[in-house]
């Protein structure tokens, strides 16, 4: 019952504290879709996105990059913004609660593990809601532009991304990829949560950014979670790249590891000392 009360409190207070970030996400999605549609018009293509194209566009990233070649390294700015926004959104609430009301509850009740599991659940719920909001934005984009309300992906996506690949329309792979995106975003957020409680949120955020940037530069390491959340590096894009099933397995493994590490570490954190 104690854990359920903490979960209910976190869902109410925590989601209220980050509501503005969901509004920011809507703004980012709107600007991203407008930019993509203008790019299509510049290429003489119809400004139309299907639901599938709008969804994967938000996490498109960049294809594999060969360092040391004549071509400059491409930094996927929109991709970074989408994911760094999601990670920053869930960065501060657990830390502030740990130093505030949450510490009082833990000292009074001894419910450290209940507090930890509640925060893990809150992070998962917040990230899931984040991608649900993004999905609604993608649906509105497809509806307004007259695109198909399914997961088909055509060469319009290639024009919008200035990408020379030939996208597949394998609904099964695209569904798996979208699941992998959600799972691995949660995994990144929980890595950040563990680091923020052991050290500091800013250190955790720098670690998250480092993982994403290293993923942009290094393709061959599937355990760099950023590689699992780039459509252009996934089997779902053109049949080459990382397997979305493996991405889901890796993400779930990282989630489980973070929950266990946090549960082991929590009893040894001096709440009173850190609260001061």
Q: How far is Cα of residue 78 from the mean position of the Cα atoms in its chain?
A: 13
Are 123 and 186 in contact, with CB atoms under 8 Å apart? Answer: yes
Which conformational region is residue 181 in: left (phi greater than 0), alpha (psi within -120 to 50 degrees), or beta? alpha
pLDDT at 22 over 50: yes
* pTM given for the model: 0.92
Tell me the pLDDT tens digit for each residue of 150-197.
888 888 888 888 777 666 678 889 999 999 999 999 999 999 999 998
pLDDT at 266 over 90: no
How many domains does the structure of the chain reveal?
1
d(CA 186, CA 128): 8
pLDDT at 276 over 70: no
* Averaged confidence pLDDT in the chain: 87
State both tokens at 51. Answer: 């639901």
Q: Is 238 helix (H, G, I), strand (E, B) or coil?
A: helix
In the chain, the percentage of residues whose pLDDT exceeds 90 is 57
What sign for the dihedral angle of Cα 123, 85, 30, 142? negative
Q: What is the pLDDT of residue 106?
A: 55
pLDDT at 267 over 80: no
Q: What is the pLDDT of residue 69?
A: 64
For 90-117, letters b (16+ CB in 10 Å) and e give bbebbbebbeeebbebbeeeebbbbbbb
pLDDT at 271 over 90: no
pLDDT at 270 over 70: no
Q: What is the pLDDT of residue 65?
A: 78
pLDDT confidence of 208, banded at 50, 70, 90? very high
pLDDT at 64 over 80: yes
Tell me the pLDDT tens digit for each residue of 82-116.
999 999 999 999 988 877 655 555 544 557 888 89
pLDDT at 227 over 50: yes
Alpha helical stretches, state H, the chain: 2-9, 15-17, 19-42, 51-57, 77-89, 92-98, 101-109, 112-145, 155-160, 171-198, 201-217, 235-238, 244-265, 271-275
Q: What is the pLDDT of residue 275?
A: 44
Domain with 62, as residue range(s), is 2-275
Q: What is the pLDDT of residue 211?
A: 95
């Amino acid at each position: 019952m104690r854990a359920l009360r903490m979960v209910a409190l976190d869902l109410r207070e925590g989601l209220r504290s980050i509501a503005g970030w969901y509004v920011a996400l809507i703004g980012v999605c709107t600007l991203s879709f407008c930019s993509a549609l203008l790019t299509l018009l510049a290429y003489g293509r119809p400004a139309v996105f299907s639901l599938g194209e709008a969804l994967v566009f938000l996490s498109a990233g960049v294809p594999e990059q060969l360092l040391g070649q004549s071509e400059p390294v491409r930094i996927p700015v929109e991709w970074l913004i989408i994911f760094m926004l999601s990670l920053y959104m869930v960065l501060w609430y657990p830390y502030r609660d740990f130093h505030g009301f949450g510490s009082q509850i833990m000292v009074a009740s001894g419910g450290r593990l209940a507090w930890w599991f509640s925060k893990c659940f809150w992070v998962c719920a917040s990230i899931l809601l984040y991608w649900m909001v993004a999905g609604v934005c993608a649906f509105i984009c497809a509806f307004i532009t007259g695109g198909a309300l399914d997961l088909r992906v055509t060469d319009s996506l290639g024009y919008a991304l200035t990408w020379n690949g030939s996208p597949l329309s394998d609904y099964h792979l695209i569904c798996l990829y979208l699941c992998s995106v959600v799972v691995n975003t949660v995994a990144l957020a929980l890595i950040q949560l563990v680091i923020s409680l052991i050290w500091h949120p800013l250190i955790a955020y720098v670690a998250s950014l480092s993982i994403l940037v290293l993923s942009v530069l290094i393709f061959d390491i599937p355990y760099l979670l950023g590689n699992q959340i780039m459509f252009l590096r996934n089997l779902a894009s053109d049949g080459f790249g990382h397997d979305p099933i493996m991405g889901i397995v890796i993400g779930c493994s990282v989630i489980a590891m973070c929950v266990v590490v946090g549960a082991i570490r929590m009893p040894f954190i001096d709440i009173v000392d850190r609260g001061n």
